[in-house]
Structure 1
C-alpha cells in the first residue's frame, strides 16, 4: 500500500475513535448509582492505600475514604518507612473515625522491583475480603463511587476500574491536566473500553482477589512497573471481563505544575513503548498535529485538495470534538473559559509529540527517588534498589 493511502485510512480510523469516545462517554459515564437488590448482600471490600510522603491534599483525599456510603469495607494503609509523616496523618484520621475498620502496615516486602506492590504486599496478604480496591494516595472519592464500582462487578466481571480524570484545580497546570485527561486520554480510554481492549490504569481499580490468588497473588506482577496493565491482561486471558465504572477517578494530588505533569506523561509513554513496541509507530499518529499533517499531504496527492486548508479544518474539527468530549467527562461547568481552553489545548497538542520523542530516546524510568531500566515486554530492573526485606 502506498504511504498516502495508509495515512488517509489511518486518519479516517482516528475519527472513528473520536466518534466512539463521544457516544460511548455520553452513554457510559455519570449514570445514577443504583443500590444492589434488597435480597443481595453487599460484598466486603478491602481498600489498599499505598502512601509515601505528605502533600497539601493528602488529608482531604484520605478523609473521603472514611465517609463513603458503603456498608462493609476496610482500609489498609501501606507505609514503607515508619518515619514517613503520612503515618501521623493516617493515625489522626483513624482517631477521628473510629467506626471505620482500618489497619496500618509499615515496612515494604521485597517481592519484585515494583515499589507500589512491595509496599502493598503485606496488606494484600492480610486483607479480609475478596474484593480488593487498589487506590492511589492522590485519589479523591465521592460518597457513592465504591457502590458504583461494586454495582459494575457482575458475575463475569473480574476487574472494574475508573477512567482517569482530575478535580477542578486553579492555574495553567490544572487546566492542562484536565484537558489531557478529558480529551487525549479519555478518547483512547473510552474507545478501548467500548471494544474491550485492555486500557486499565491502576490508580483506582476494584478486582477479585481469588482470581489473582489463582495466578500466584499480587507478587507475580512485581517484576513490572506497569503492573496495572498486566493485572488486567491476566484477567482477560483467563476469560474475565474488565470494565470502567461510570464515575471517573478524581485525581487530586497536591503537586500540580507543568514540569511534574509532563514528567508523568513521559514516564507513561516509556512504559507503553516497553510493553507494546508497536506504539513507537502508532502513538505519534494519534496526535492531532502529526496525523493532520500526514493526512493533508495524502489528500493533496489522492484528491488534489489544498493541504493547508485541509490541515486547518482538521485542527478545528478536532478541537471541537475535544471540547464536546471534555464537557461529557466533566458532566458540569468547566473551571476555565474557552480562551484558557484554547491556549492549554494548543500547548498540549504541540508538546505531545515532543514528550513522546523524549520517552523513546531515554528508556530509563525515574519514579520519585528511584531509577529503573525497562526491557522489551515491560519487565523492569531497578538500578538502585532501596527496599529491604
Structure 2
C-alpha cells in the first residue's frame, strides 16, 4: 500500500513539474517572439559589400499562388543573388511560369534545371541536386515553392548570418487568406507550432525548418553536400544537426516564412501535420510519449489531478484556469507573430483553436497507426533515427 502511495506522489509531482515547464515554454515563446520577430532591417554600411546568395527553388506542380510567390523572389531588394529553379520532369507545368518570369525580369540572374538525378530517397534532395552543383555563391538559400518573400527578407536573413552562425531559418507562418482551413492553418502556426519553435530557439535547441533556410555552402560541402542527406526525409533537421555537432550556431531571422499555398480543405492541412508528427516520432522516439500529454486538454486533466492530490485544490477550478490561461496566452502569441490585426474574428479564433486542440490527438493516433509517409509522388517507410526507404508500388 505504501508503494502505491509513493508511486502516486511521484506521478503527481512529475505531472505538476511538467505543467509548470509548459507554462515556462509559453512565456519563453512570447518573450522570444516579442524580442526577435518583425524587427526593422538594420542600416547598411555601403562600404561593406553583401555576400552573394544562391537561391534554390525546388518545384513540383503548380498552385494558384505559384506565379506571385515566385515573382516575389525576382523583386527582392538585394544586390547580389541568383535564382536556381529545379524541376525533375520536363512536363511539369511550373516550367511555363518560371520561363515567363525569366523573360519578364531579364536583369535577374535566373536559371532553370530540368533533371531527374537520384542521389537518395528524398525527392526534394534529388530535385535540388543540379541547382546545388551549379550554385556559385558561398551562401545557399533553400526555399520551398509556397514561400512568398518581401523585398527585404533576404537582407534580413543575411544580416542574421553572423560569423559563428551556419544556418538562418525563418519561423513558419502563413499569409492572410480566406476560409476556415486557412484560419486553422494560421492558428496552428501562430500558437502550438510557434510556441515550440520560439521556446526551442530561446534555449538553443535544434528546431529548424527546411522551407526557408540560409546556409553556408562550404560547411555542407565539407560533409558531402546535400546529397549526403538524401537518405533522410527530414533533411532540414539533419542539416542543422550537422552544423551544431561541429560547434556552429543556428538562428531565426526576424521575418517569418510567409507560406502562401492555396489550402482547399482541412484534410490537406491535417495530412501535412500528421506527416511531420511521423517524422518526429522516427527521429526523436521519446516524443511519442511526451507530445500527447503536453497538449492542452490532456495536460489540464493531469495538472488538475496532481494539484488536487498534492494540495487538495479543486480540480474543476484548476482545469478552468488552465484552459482559459492557455487560450489567452495562445492569442497573445498569435498576435505577436501576426504583427498586426488578425484576418478573422475572435469567434473564428475560438472555433479554430478548439478544433486544433481537440483534433491534435486524432493526428497523433494517425501518425502512430499509419507510420508510412505519402509525399509528393512516392510512399516511404521511416526507420528509427530518421532514415527512410521508398516503398515500391505493386503492379
Same fold (TM over 0.5): yes
Describe how 1:8-157 pairs up with structure 2 within 5 A: 8-157=16-165
- Distance apart, 1:285 and its partner CA: 2.1
1:269 is aligned to 2:285: no
Partner of 1:293: 301
Q: Is the 8 A contact 2:181 2:263 kept in 1?
A: no
Structure 1 contact 176–345 (Cα < 8 Å) conserved = yes
The alpha-carbon deviation at position 346 of structure 1 amounts to 0.2
Q: In the alignment, is residue 375 of structure 1 matched against residue 383 of structure 2?
A: yes
Q: List alignment gaps of at least 5 residues for structure 2.
A: 1-6
Tell me if structure 1 keeps the 8 A contact 2:173–2:256: yes
Q: Residues 213-265 of structure 1: CA distance to partner in whole angstroms, max 9, x if unpaired?
A: 01111101000000000000000001111000000000001234210000000
Distance 1:255 1:55 in 2: 10
Structure-1 separation of matches of 2:68 and 2:121: 30
Q: Which residue of 1 aligns with 2:318?
A: 310
**Alignment length, in residue pairs?**
385
CA RMSD of aligned residues (A): 0.9
Cα deviations across residues 250-297 of structure 1 (Å, max 9, x unaligned)? 000123421000000000000000000000111112210011111111
C-alpha distance after superposition, 1:120-175 (max 9, x if no partner): 00110110101000000000001100000000001010000000000001010111
Measure the CA separation in 2 of the matches of 1:279 and 1:354. Answer: 16
Secondary structure of the structure 2 residue equivalent to 1:242? strand
Corresponding position: 1:187 with 2:192: no
CA contact (8 A) 1:109 1:119 kept: yes
Deviation (angstroms), 1:36: 3.4
Tell me how far apart the structure 1 counterparts of residues 292 and 270 of structure 2 sit (CA, whole Å): 16
- The normalised TM-score by structure 1 is 0.98
How many Å apart are 1:35 and its aligned residue? 3.9
Q: State the partner residue of 1:339.
A: 347
Paired residues of 2:37 and 2:255 also in contact (CA < 8 A): yes
State the shift of 1:384 in Å. Answer: 2.6
Task: Single out whichever of 36-45 and 130-139 deviates more from structure 2.
Answer: 36-45
Aligned partners of 1:83 and 1:354: how far apart in 2?
A: 38
> Would the aligned equivalents of 1:17 and 1:191 in 2 still touch at CA under 8 Å?
yes
Q: How far apart, in 2, do the equivalents of 1:70 and 1:242 lie?
A: 22
Equivalent residue, structure 2, for 1:222: 230
Q: 1:231 aligns with which of 214, 239, 242?
A: 239
Report how far residue 38 of structure 1 moved: 2.5
Whole-angstrom distance in 2 between the partners of 1:24 and 1:55: 33
Q: State the SS of the aligned residue for 2:61.
A: coil
- In structure 1, what is the equivalent of residue 3 of structure 2? none
C-alpha displacement of 1:58: 0.3
- After superposition, give the CA deviation of every residue in 1:334-372 in whole Å (9 maximum; x if it has no partner): 000100000000000000122011101111001123100
Moved more, 288-297 or 249-258: 249-258
Match of residue 219 from structure 2:
211
Q: Give the TM-score normalised by the residue count of structure 2.
A: 0.96
Identify which of 166, 174, 177 aligns with 1:166. 174
1:4 maps onto 2:18 in alignment: no
Any idea what the Cα deviations from partners look like across 1:310-351, whole Å, max 9, x if unmatched? 111100000000000000000001000100000000000000
Q: Is the CA contact 1:5–1:298 (under 8 Å) kept in the aligned structure 2?
A: yes
8 Å CA contact retained: 1:131, 1:209? yes
Structure 1: unaligned runs, 5 residues or longer: none
